[in-house]
Amino acid sequence: MNRKRTESLFIVSFITGTIIMLFCIYPLISTLFWTEPGVIFDTFKDKQVLQSIYLSMGAATITTIVAFILGVPFAYVLARKEFRFKSLVESIVDIPIVIPHPVAGICLLTVISPRSWTGQLMEKAGIEVLGTVAAIVLAMTFVSMPFLINAAKEAFKWVPPRMENISRTLGASHTQTFFLITFSLAWRDILSGMILTWARAISEFGAVIILAYHPMIAPTVIYERFTAYGMMYAVPVAVILIILCLIMFIILRLLAASSREGEIL
Amino acid sequence: MIEVKDLSLQLGEFKIKDFSLTIDMGEFFVLLGPTGSGKTVLLESIAGLKAIQAGNIYINKKEVTGKKPEERNISICYQDLALFPHMRVKDNIKYGLRFRRDTNKLKYEKNFETLIELLRINHILDRYPIFLSGGEKQRVALARALIVDPDILLLDEPLTALDSGIKATIEAELKNLHETLKITILMVTHDFKEAYYLADRVGIIKDGSIMQMGPIEKVFEQPDSIFTANFVGMKNLIKIYELKDKPVFQVLLKHVGETGAEFIGIRPENIVISNKIIDDSCSFLGIISHIRNNGIYREIDIISHGVEFKAYLTANSYNELQLSQGKEVFFGIDASRIAVI
């Protein structure tokens, strides 16, 4: 007699899971088969496309580094300290996630536009942001930084404060304890947060287009080709971006996974 | 020597006010108190991990009150051990050495060898903490805390998380470590049996205040409050006025004298039970009202002239006496060990 039994809730979960998988994967597969491989190959040689992809990847990487440098120390404080208005501060961190991205772009524009006092200050200092790579990074950082801060905050919370206490009593300073214990134990989850931040940054369009239509990032090129020439011209660029992003995403995930196996926890 | 003078701190609703304590060099001092009495907070404030609002802390007569934890030379071991999971056992143990300004490598290497021998952890040095048993983890945590030659070792309920079998072994090892290395230890626990086995002196703590402090036997035999008496397992707390109108118990009251006390306290292990009359002025006749089997011993409730007494018997004695509920027995009380509260 077969005693194996499947709970009905798991059957429901399996069905909804299959729907979600199809919902995520089918549009991607459909895009990949929309056009001929030869057209994709030709598009790959297109200088404008290549430049936009390089720019997207470069700006997303700079964004991730900036978010890491600024976000990790801040996340540590949020994980370890209780202070007045902490939940307000945490809500502010999450604001870029909840507001529409063109709105985020407009908000940033009010700060860097030459009509604003900050924009005028930058102009006087000879700093040009609008329509430059800096504007792209600014927009990407604004919308993607919460992912890194939240991931790092959760990672730090997972490290028991008592480990830090023991490290301190054994002679390590606060900074030494942070690097030798806290960060050493949290870095894998922070790396996952960095991957998410990078992915969010490279996919950003709404905020970037408000601050810098030129130089064009890959999503801007796709948008421009779609509105000017239609699907046939937009899809090959989209396919290239999908393939490259997936490759990068898989490599980074594998790196994170292999480092996790390398150390035993 | 460690001296805590008038230490005060507040953490939300919890308050410690004017807490003072002196522990001599090489002494094993146990702070005994229920959960939430402020034991861990006290340890952490002594170690510099929690900020205090007032008071002074001296280690070997040098004030360390304002110093950072890494400048105090105090080691701490928690109940959950907190071994560093990303380091092998040997790296866990040697962690503190990398911050020592004193570069006497030979001394610390000798410490390492001594500790791994005393704690019998030579065979697990290359393992990660995840592959250790509870007892092994505890030994590693102790070695890590002691390798740096701390002036005082703070132990926060170090035996609570262990299985009863391994607990006895670690308890014995802790005692051996203390006697061999002559280290000063301040341990907090809620288990009075641990305290009885390990402590030179104990302090009973409640809501951040010391209720009673003294040599272990004194506190256990002569508690000076109902709280302490309950906490140290003095099961017989009898109101004196209940005895006054019963002529049979006048002999007990004679030992109490006119002290103005409200209770007399008798430890259950200080009551002997017999089927024959006991040749002692402090012996009485009673009926067994209840027998509780605790595995290792039996807890016997005896009612005598309306007063309930509790006594402990080993399983062996219990079987020899062939006791049962409702049986009439004689019981004797060691009058010299009656506490007056």
pTM to 2 decimal places:
0.84
Residues B148 and B189 in one domain: yes
Which of B41, B71, B76, B80 is most worth mutating to test chain A (most A CB atoms within 10 A of its CB)?
A: B76
Chain A partners within 8 Å of B77 (Cβ): 166
Average pLDDT value for residue range A82-87: 94
CA dihedral B93, B99, B101, B107 (to 10 degrees): 10
Contacts of A159 in chain B (CB under 8 A): none
Task: Identify all chain A residues contacting B70, using CB atoms and an 8 Å cutoff.
Answer: 168-173
CB B284 within 8 A of CB B266: no
**Judgement on whether residues B250 and B207 belong to the same structural domain of the protein:** no
Report the pLDDT value the prediction gives residue A263, as an integer from 0 to 100: 52
Q: B68 and A185 in contact by Cβ < 8 A?
A: no
Q: For residue B174, is pLDDT > 50?
A: yes
Per-residue model confidence as pLDDT tens digits over B94-147: 999 999 877 778 888 899 999 999 999 999 999 999 999 989 999 999 999 999
What share of chain A in percent tops pLDDT 70? 96
**Domain assignment of residue B146, yes or no:** yes
Contact list, A168 vs chain B (CB under 8 Å): 48-49, 68-70
Same domain for B244 and B204, yes or no, is no
Mean pLDDT of B280-285: 82
Residue of A169, A176, A265 lying closest to B76 (CB–CB): A169
Domain that holds residue B268: 236-340
For residue B277, what are the contacts with CB-CB under 8 A and spacing of at least 6? B283, B330
Mean pLDDT, chain B, rounded, equals 90
Give residues with Cβ within 8 angstroms of B281, minimum separation 6.
Answer: B251, B335
| Domain A38-262 indexed as CATH 3.40.50.300 | no
Residue B75 scores a pLDDT above 90: yes
Residues B160 and B77 in one domain: yes
Judge whether B218 lies within some domain.
Answer: yes
Asked if B49's CB is within 8 angstroms of A169's CB, the reply is yes
Nearest-Cα distance to chain B for A79, in Å, is: 17
Q: What would the mean pLDDT of A40-59 be, rounded to a whole number?
A: 92
Q: Are residues B137 and B216 located together in one domain of the fold?
A: yes
Q: pLDDT exceeding 70 applies to what percent of chain B?
A: 100
What's the pLDDT at B283?
A: 86
**pLDDT above 60 for A262:** no
Examine the domain organization and report whether B192 and B255 are in the same domain.
no
Minimal-distance CA residue of chain A relative to B101: A171
Same domain, B222 and B246: no
pLDDT digits (tens, 9 = 90+) for B223-278: 989 999 988 889 999 988 888 888 888 888 887 777 778 898 999 988 999 988 88
Domain limit, last residue, from B208, B226, B244: B226
Indicate if B194 and B278 belong to the same structural domain.
Answer: no
Q: Which of B199, B226, B253 is the last residue of a domain?
A: B226
Give the pLDDT confidence of A119-167 residue by residue, as tens digits.
999 999 999 899 999 999 999 999 999 999 999 999 999 999 999 999 9
Give the domain ranges of chain A: 38-262
Pair B198, B167: CB distance under 8 Å: no
Q: Which residues of A fall within a CB distance of 8 Å from B148? A: 170-171
- How far does the CA of residue A151 sit from the closest CA of chain B (Å)? 20
Contact check, Cβ <8 Å, A185/B80: no
Nearest to A165 among B68, B76, B131 (CB): B76
How close is the nearest chain B Cα to the Cα of A73, in Å?
A: 20
Number of domains in chain B: 2
Domain with B246 in it: what CATH number? Answer: 2.40.50.100
Asked if B150 and B240 sit in the same domain, the reply is no
Residues of chain B whose beta carbon is less than 8 angstroms from a beta carbon of chain A are: 44, 47-49, 68-70, 72, 74-78, 80, 82, 84-86, 95-96, 98-100, 128, 130-131, 144-145, 148, 150
Q: Are A139 and A212 in contact (CB under 8 A)?
A: yes
Domain boundary among B173, B193, B226: B226
Minimum CA–CA partner of A164 in chain B:
B82
Would you say B229 and B237 are in contact if contact means Cβ atoms under 8 Å apart? yes
Mutation site for B-interface testing, chosen from A84, A158, A169 by largest number of B Cβ within 10 Å? A169
Which ipTM value was assigned to this complex?
0.85
Find which of A170, A174, A185 to mutate to test the B interface (most B CBs within 10 Å of its CB).
A170
Task: Tell me what pLDDT residue A260 has.
Answer: 55
Using a CB–CB cut-off of 8 Å, the residues of A that contact B are: 160, 162-163, 165-174, 176, 181, 184-185, 263-265
Which candidate from B70, B84, B100 shows the least CB-CB separation from A168? B70
Distance CA A171, CA B100 (A): 7
| B46/B35 Cα distance (integer angstroms) | 19
Long-range contacts of B209-214 (CB under 8 A, 24+ apart): B209/B16, B209/B17, B209/B19, B210/B19, B210/B20, B210/B21, B213/B21
Overall size of chain A counted in residues: 265
Which helix (H) or strand (E) element contains residue A101?
helix A101-112
**Closest chain B residue to A260 measured between Cα atoms?**
B86
B231 lies in some domain: no
Report the pLDDT value the prediction gives residue A264, as an integer from 0 to 100: 46
Q: For residue B277, what pLDDT is reported?
A: 83
Residue B154 sits in a domain whose CATH number is 3.40.50.300
Q: Is A113 helix (H, G, I), strand (E, B) or coil?
A: coil
Which residue from A172, A184, A264 is facing B130, i.e. has the nearest CB? A264
Shortest Cα distance from A168 to chain B (angstroms)? 5
Based on the fold, state whether residues B35 and B87 are members of the same structural domain. yes
pLDDT number for residue A150:
96
Residue at B84 is within a domain: yes
Residues B187, B205 share a domain: yes
Do B201 and B297 lie in one domain? The reply is: no
Token pair 């890590």 in the structure block, residue: B144
Question: What would the pLDDT profile of A224-247 be if each residue is shown by its tens digit?
Answer: 999 999 998 999 999 999 998 889
